[in-house]
């Protein structure tokens, strides 16, 4: 998709430009994963847009379409030197033109009113917890890899709201990361992933049938991070057990977003969502 608004030229990002967008997210203090860009782009290569003025990148956004009519908007950043000139709005409008059905986003505090004016409705807050975790027992937890994709996808789709195999193929084996889960019969009762970030390591997702399962998986992921390494976990604020688990690990609130939807609501089982995957792709 390409377009033009005044002197802003909009096009689909190249692979290198997706890396640039993630670098900008790091500059904004969002602390993305070091290897997020490749997994993000594989999910929907046409879902990442960049705006340029005279060939200079000035704004980025993602509008990723998943299977089953769900899309997610994120990575919405205007370079600080180019703000206040309408470029962000032009790129935002172009992104919304290419998504349909239910569209979600995790909005930072200062932008939530603007998202509401575009028809997005608050679903719940997300709280990012961070700090050096205390650790926990994890004897029954197994490491997961690409051979477990089918079982992981079943758990993931139930908790995320759509199937995303292209993303999970890379997420389960993200460089420097670790995927772990607990088996139940022929499937999984929960799974989680931890990966290196610009600061410390980030857990996401952490999906589980109950708090004991989540605690065990989180303990295995924290062990992968290593002693003294800060860990970050993004928890839906209405999920009391999820908040309690983060606090139990010694993590404290450091950031928040608002999960918002346009075009309908998404009835997720938040009681199973102990950590969302990313603020950028949902």
Q: Return averaged pLDDT per consecutive 10 residues of the chain, 282 residues in all.
A: 68 96 95 96 96 96 93 96 93 94 92 92 96 84 96 97 96 97 90 98 98 96 95 97 97 96 93 97 95
Cα–Cα distance, 281 to 279 (Å, whole number):
6
Question: What is the torsional sign of CA 274, 162, 121, 44?
Answer: positive
pLDDT at 200: 98
Give the residue range(s) of CATH 3.40.630.90 domains in the chain.
128-275
The residues pairing with 49 across neighbouring beta strands, listed in sequence order, are 12, 61
DSSP 8-state secondary structure symbol assigned to residue 66: -
Nearest to 22 by CA among 74, 73, 58: 74
The CATH class for the domain spanning 128-275 reads alpha beta
pLDDT at 4: 47
Q: Which CATH architecture has domain 3-124?
A: 3-Layer(aba) Sandwich (3.40)
pLDDT at 2: 44
Nearest to 241 by CA among 269, 217, 219, 274: 274
- Exposure of 223 in the CB half-sphere (CA atoms within 13 A): 15
Burial of 237 (0-12, 13-18, 19+ CB in 10 A): middle
Peptide bond into 205 cis (omega under 30): yes
pLDDT in tens, 105-162: 999 888 889 899 999 999 999 999 999 999 876 778 999 999 999 999 999 999 999 9
Give the residue range(s) of CATH 3.40.630.30 domains in the chain.
3-124
């Amino acid at each position: 998709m390409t377009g033009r608004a005044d002197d802003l030229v909009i096009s689909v990002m190249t692979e290198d430009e997706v890396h640039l967008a993630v670098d900008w997210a790091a500059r904004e203090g969002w602390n993305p994963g070091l290897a997020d860009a490749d997994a993000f782009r594989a999910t929907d290569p046409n879902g990442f847009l960049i705006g340029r003025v005279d060939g200079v990148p000035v704004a980025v956004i993602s509008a990723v379409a998943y299977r089953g009519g769900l899309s997610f908007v994120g990575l919405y950043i205007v370079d600080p030197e180019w703000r206040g000139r309408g470029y962000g709005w032009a790129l935002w409008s172009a992104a919304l033109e290419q998504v349909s059905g239910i569209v979600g986003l995790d909005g930072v505090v200062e932008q939530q009113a603007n998202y509401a004016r575009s028809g997005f409705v608050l679903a719940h807050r997300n709280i990012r917890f961070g700090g050096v975790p205390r650790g926990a027992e994890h004897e029954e937890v197994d490491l997961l890899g690409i051979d477990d994709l089918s079982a992981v996808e079943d758990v993931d789709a139930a908790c995320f709201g759509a199937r995303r195999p292209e993303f999970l193929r890379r997420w389960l084996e993200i460089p420097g990361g670790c995927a772990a889960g607990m088996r139940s019969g022929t499937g999984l009762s929960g799974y989680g992933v931890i990966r290196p970030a610009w600061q410390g390591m980030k857990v996401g997702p952490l999906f589980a049938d109950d708090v004991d399962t989540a605690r065990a998986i989180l303990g295995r992921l924290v062990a992968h991070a290593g002693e003294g390494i800060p860990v970050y976990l993004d928890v839906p604020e209405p999920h009391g057990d999820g908040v309690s688990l983060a606090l139990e690990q010694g993590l404290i609130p450091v950031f928040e977003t608002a999960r918002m939807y346009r075009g309908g609501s998404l009835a997720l089982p938040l009681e199973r969502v102990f950590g969302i995957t990313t603020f950028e792709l949902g």
